[in-house]
Structure 1
Amino acid sequence: MQVHPRDMARIAFILLCHKDPQAVIAQARRLTAAGDHMVIHFDGRADDAAYREIAAALSDTPDVVVLKKRVKCGWGEWSLVQATLNAVDAALEAFPKATHLYMVSGDCMPIKSAEYAHALLDSAQVDHIESVDYFRSGWIKTGMREERLIYRHFLNERKHKRLFYAAVDWQKRLGLQRKVPADLEMMIGSQWWCLRRRTVEALRDFCRARPDVMRFFRTTWIPDETFFQTLVRHLVPGDEIRSRSLTFLMFTDYGMPVTFYNDHYDLLLGQDYLFARKISPGAEELKQRLGALWAATGAGFEISDEGRRLHQFLTGRGRIGRRFAPRFWETESSIGRDRVLMIVICRKWDLARRLVERIRQVTNLPALGYVFQDAATPLPDLGGLQSTLEKRDRHRRALVRMLFDYYATDRMILCMDPAGFDHLRDFASDRAEVRFLDIECETPDSYLTAHAVRMGLAGETTPPAAMDRLLTTLRHDFAFQTDRIRDAGFDNYHVIRDTDAAERTTGPLAEFLGIPREAALEIAGTDTLFAD
Structure 2
Amino acid sequence: MAKIAFILLCHKDPDAIIQQAEQLTAAGDYISIHFDARAPKAYFDRIRTELADNPNVAYARKRLKCGWGEWSLVAATLEAIISAEQAFPRATHFYMLSGDCMATKSARYAHSFLDRHDCDFVESFDFFKSDWIKTGMKEERLIYRHWFNERTQKRRFYWLFWLQRRFGLTREIPHDIDVQIGSQWWCLRRQTVEKILEFTRERKDVMKFFSTTWIPDETFFQTLVRHLVPAKEIQTRTLTFLMFTDYGMPVTFYNDHYDLLLAQDTLFARKISPEAKELKKRLGKLWASERDHFGISNEGRKLFDFLTGRGREGRRFAPRFWETEASLGPERELLIIACKKWHVAKRLIQSISARTDLPTVAYLFNEENTDLPDLGGIQDSLSKRHRHRRALMRMLFDYHQSDRMVVCMDTSSLDLMQDFVNDRATTRIMVVQCQFSDDYLQGHAQRVGLAGGETPAGAMSRLLPSVRNDVLHEAERIREARFTHYYTINESDPVEANARALGQFLSVSDEEARLIAETPYLFHD
Could you tell me the TM-score, scaled by structure 2's length? 0.70
Match of 1:521?
Answer: none
Match of 1:245?
Answer: 238
Match of 1:334?
Answer: 321
Deviation at 1:443? Answer: 9.2
Q: 1:27 aligns with which of 20, 23, 34?
A: 20
Query: Secondary structure of the residue that 2:175 maps to in structure 1?
Result: coil
Q: Once superposed, what is the RMSD of the aligned Cα atoms? A: 4.5
Q: Structure 1: which amino acid aligns with 2:321?
A: S
Query: Structure 2: how far apart are the matches of 1:422 and 1:109?
Result: 48
Match of 2:429?
Answer: 440
Q: Structure 2: which amino acid aligns with 1:84?
A: T
Match of 2:126?
Answer: 133
Query: Structure 1: how far apart are the matches of 2:205 and 2:257?
Result: 46
Match of 1:486?
Answer: none
Match of 2:512?
Answer: none
Over 3 Å counting, the alpha-carbon distance change for 1:530 and 1:50 in structure 2 is: farther
Q: Structure 2: which amino acid aligns with 1:12?
A: A
Q: Which runs of 5+ in 2 are unaligned?
A: 346-360, 408-412, 436-464, 466-474, 490-497, 509-518
Q: 2:11 aligns with which of 14, 18, 22?
A: 18
Query: Structure 2: how far apart are the matches of 1:508 and 1:355?
Result: 23
Match of 1:262?
Answer: 255
Match of 1:487?
Answer: none
Q: Structure 2: which amino acid aligns with 1:167?
A: L
Over 3 Å counting, the alpha-carbon distance change for 1:173 and 1:98 in structure 2 is: same
Residue-by-residue CA offset, 1:110-162 (whole Å, 9 max, x unaligned): 11111111111111210000001010001111221111111111111111112
Match of 2:180?
Answer: 187
Q: Structure 2: which amino acid aligns with 1:378?
A: S
Match of 1:70?
Answer: 63
Query: Structure 2: how far apart are the matches of 1:242 and 1:297?
Result: 27
Residue-by-residue CA offset, 1:310-345 (whole Å, 9 max, x unaligned): 1122123144456xx79xxxxxx4239899956858
Over the matched positions of the two proteins, sequence identity in percent amounts to 52
**Across the two proteins, how many residue pairs are aligned to each other?**
430
Tell me if structure 2 keeps the 8 A contact 1:498–1:530.
no
Query: Secondary structure of the residue that 1:12 maps to in structure 2?
Result: strand
Over 3 Å counting, the alpha-carbon distance change for 1:315 and 1:345 in structure 2 is: farther
Q: Larger C-alpha radius of gyration, 1 or 2?
A: 2
**What is the correspondence of 1:130-209 to structure 2 with a 5 Å cutoff?**
130-209=123-202
Over 3 Å counting, the alpha-carbon distance change for 1:507 and 1:290 in structure 2 is: farther
**What is the correspondence of 1:65-104 to structure 2 with a 5 Å cutoff?**
65-67=58-60, 69-104=62-97
Query: Structure 2: how far apart are the matches of 1:356 and 1:367?
Result: 15
Query: Structure 1: how far apart are the matches of 2:322 and 2:156?
Result: 34
Tell me if structure 2 keeps the 8 A contact 1:357–1:367.
no
**What is the correspondence of 1:374-389 to structure 2 with a 5 Å cutoff?**
378-379=383-384
Q: Structure 2: which amino acid aligns with 1:242?
A: Q
Query: Secondary structure of the residue that 1:40 maps to in structure 2?
Result: strand
Q: Structure 1: which amino acid aligns with 2:213?
A: T
Query: Structure 2: how far apart are the matches of 1:113 and 1:244?
Result: 20
Deviation at 1:173? Answer: 2.7
Match of 1:492?
Answer: none
Over 3 Å counting, the alpha-carbon distance change for 1:357 and 1:30 in structure 2 is: farther
Query: Secondary structure of the residue that 1:244 maps to in structure 2?
Result: coil
Q: Structure 2: which amino acid aligns with 1:209?
A: E
Over 3 Å counting, the alpha-carbon distance change for 1:173 and 1:338 in structure 2 is: closer
Over 3 Å counting, the alpha-carbon distance change for 1:421 and 1:33 in structure 2 is: farther
Query: Secondary structure of the residue that 2:208 maps to in structure 1?
Result: helix
**What is the correspondence of 1:31-70 to structure 2 with a 5 Å cutoff?**
31-67=24-60, 69-70=62-63
Tell me if structure 1 keeps the 8 A contact 2:430–2:505.
no
Query: Structure 2: how far apart are the matches of 1:527 and 1:355?
Result: 24
Query: Structure 2: how far apart are the matches of 1:188 and 1:106?
Result: 23
Match of 2:371?
Answer: 361
Query: Secondary structure of the residue that 1:354 maps to in structure 2?
Result: coil
Over 3 Å counting, the alpha-carbon distance change for 1:321 and 1:132 in structure 2 is: closer
Match of 1:117?
Answer: 110
Over 3 Å counting, the alpha-carbon distance change for 1:25 and 1:527 in structure 2 is: farther
Match of 2:215?
Answer: 222
Q: Does 1:276 align with 2:269?
A: yes
Tell me if structure 2 keeps the 8 A contact 1:437–1:496.
no
Q: Does 1:294 align with 2:298?
A: no
Residue-by-residue CA offset, 1:164-217 (whole Å, 9 max, x unaligned): 111122122333211111111111111000000110001000110111111111
Over 3 Å counting, the alpha-carbon distance change for 1:440 and 1:21 in structure 2 is: same
Query: Structure 1: how far apart are the matches of 2:339 and 2:303?
Result: 38
Structure 1 stretch displaced more, 202-211 or 66-75 = 66-75
Deviation at 1:348? Answer: 5.3
Q: Structure 1: which amino acid aligns with 2:107?
A: A
